[in-house]
Amino acid sequence: MQTINEARLESDLAYRFGYLTEFMGFGPEDIDAIHGAARSWLLWYRPWSMRST
Say yes or no to pLDDT of 53 above 70: no
For residue 2, which phi and psi values (nearest 5 degrees)? -95, 140
Question: What is d(CA 45, CA 53) in angstroms, rounded to the nearest whole number?
Answer: 15
What pLDDT score was predicted for residue 39?
Answer: 80
Q: Kindly report, residue by residue over 13-44, the tens digit of the pLDDT.
A: 999 999 999 999 999 999 999 988 888 777 76
What pLDDT score was predicted for residue 46?
Answer: 67
Residue type for 37, please? A
- pTM greater than the 0.85 cutoff: no
What pLDDT score was predicted for residue 47?
Answer: 64
Residue 27 near residue 33, CB atoms below 8 Å: no
Residue 15 near residue 8, CB atoms below 8 Å: yes
